[in-house]
A and B are shown apart, each in its own frame.
Chain A
Amino acid sequence: MSQRSITSFFGKK
């Protein structure tokens, strides 16, 4: 299994 980055879910403001 691989781990996604949290930034791929929440866009930068």
Chain B
Amino acid sequence: MFEARLAQSAILKKVLEAVKDLLSEATFECSDSGIMVQAMDNAHVSLVSLNLRSDGFDKFRCDRNLSMGMNITTMTKILRCASSEDTVTLRAWDNPDNIIFIFESPSKEKLAEYEMKLINMDQEHLGIPETMYSCVVKMPSAEFARICKDLSQFGEAITIACSKEGVKFSAAGDYGNANIKLAQTAEVDKEEEAVCIDMQEPVKLTFACRYLNSFVKATPLCAQVKLSMSADVPLVCEYSIGEIGHIRYYLAPKIDD
């Protein structure tokens, strides 16, 4: 039997909103250690890696490892039926054809059950090598979302250039160009407002706005985002999910023809 309970469905609601633009379906790998999802978007340009640790759940039971193919569009619809304060329980039996989502109101007066059919999916896992990145930028996630949105007006791609001085985001298109520079913050009252740059070597990479704007749908999950970059390798855009895990988006850079 598999059963995982979160005291508040808000986290799971936000996770679904953070992946639904990129993934229409995904396999949820459930084991003693928690729930893992690794899936590419349809165009195979980006990769989503989600990890929810079992110890972050209020209750977690997984008697045997399960791979459950889920329709993300349907799952998003189901999670939207939960109030943020509702308790959410995911339940499946061994060799399941279905997964059950149970939402219970804080007063326990309302109990809703939604059953979703699982789908058979081809397993295709990619091996992500351990990488020492040339630049790691930590910055407020809302600021990153704002920059992606603003620069998307100017072109289809955003160039991120990171140096000792700071990080520069730029976009160019037919109507003009724009650039936004962020310096490392000297002192901040609140950690989540800090811009922190850890640079070994300067990096300049260009990424498709469309994907960056999908990644920033994870903004409600965490006040800070971590961007890890090295020349000619995919960007890693990471959001922590409270004390329970993280979501990482990998995006291949654009290259000159």
Contact = CB atoms under 8 A, between A and B. Distances in A.
B255 A10 contact: no
A8 to B, nearest CB: 7
Nearest to B206: A1
Contacts of A7: 40, 44, 126
Given A10-B128, A10-B129, A11-B127, A2 B252 contact: no
B253 interface: yes
Which bracket fits the contact residues of B? 20 to 34
A9 B234 contact: yes
Contacts of A5: 43-45, 252
Interface residues of A, number: 13
A7 B206 CA distance: 18
Interface string B223-257: 00000000001100000000000000011111111
Interface string B132-159: 0000000000000000000000000100
A5 B47 CA distance: 10
A10 to B, nearest CB: 4
A1 B254 contact: yes
B255 A2 contact: yes
Contact of A1 (B40, B45, B157, B234): B157
A4 B46 CA distance: 10
A3 to B, nearest CB: 5
Interface of B: 40, 43-47, 124-129, 157, 206, 208, 233-234, 250-257
